[in-house]
Amino acid sequence: MNERIVVVVGGNLFALAAAYLNDATQWIRIAQANRLRDPQLTGVNTLVIPPVDPTAGGGVVA
């Protein structure tokens, strides 16, 4: 599956990763694709959601 674009109002990247990537720990992939550092979102955001990759790790950026 290719990347997709979503528009969200507020929320957080954990919930988006759980919904679109089937793994909340992969929130960092959404953050990196959108040059974000904070998983908490405010206002209206148009975000790139990377393709599902069950082999991708989640976690924290060092």
62 belongs to a structural domain: no
Domain membership of residue 29 (yes or no) is yes
pLDDT tops 50 at residue 62: no
| Per-residue tokens: 21 | 């990537």
> What's the confidence (pLDDT) of residue 19?
96
Token couple for 23: 């793994």
Q: Between 38 and 55, whose confidence is greater?
A: 38
Residues recorded for the chain:
62
Look up the pTM and report it. Answer: 0.85
Q: How confident is the model at residue 31 (pLDDT cuts 50, 70, 90)?
A: very high
- Please compute the mean of the pLDDT values over residues 21-32 and round it to a whole number: 95
Question: Is residue 37 included in any domain, yes or no?
Answer: yes
- Provide the number of structural domains found in the chain: 1
Tokens encoding 19: 């919904």
Mean pLDDT over residues 24-41, rounded? 96
Residue 31: domain span:
4-49
pLDDT at 59: 61
Q: Are 9 and 44 in contact (CB under 8 A)?
A: yes
Q: Is residue 58 part of a domain?
A: no
